[in-house]
Amino acid sequence: EVQLVESGGGLVQPGGSLRLSCAASGFIFSTYSMNWVRQAPGKGLEWVSFIMSSSSAMFYADSVKGRFTISRDNAKNSLYLQMNSLRAEDTAVYYCAPGVGWPPRLEHWGQGTLVTVSS
């Protein structure tokens, strides 16, 4: 069974930093691309970032480009999102999701971790 457990969320001041983690199990993590998707309170889904299985390519939404960095450690079956220069509009639940097939669709989602950016 695929399991995805996000962690690292919390309250942070504007301009601050936070690092999210996603622990994956139940599938061969090193062979799957991975994504971060977020959802602001009461709002829709927003795709944030993607990383290839080998970390050979990463993509970002324009809204986070230059501030967020996606990475992974295949030896630890873990995905990360380093978030810098955080803004109030980054407040959201952040989900990790493996990309299935190519191009990648999102068949499995974690339960998410809440990031709140506020002073």
For strand 3-7 and strand 58-60, is the pairing parallel, antiparallel, or unpaired?
unpaired
Q: Does residue number 109 form part of the binding site for other proteins (CB under 8 A)? A: yes
Taking residue 75's Cβ as centre, other Cβ atoms within 10 Å add up to 8
Spatial distance between the Cα atoms of 118 and 51, rounded to a whole number of angstroms: 28
Least Å from the CB of residue 24 to other proteins? 15
Task: Find tokens 């977020």 and name the residue.
Answer: 38
Q: Of 4 and 117, which has the nearer Cβ to other proteins?
A: 4
Q: Of 45 and 88, which has the nearer Cβ to other proteins?
A: 45
- Footprint of other proteins on this chain (CB under 8 A)? 35, 37, 44-47, 50, 59-62, 95, 101, 103-107, 109-112
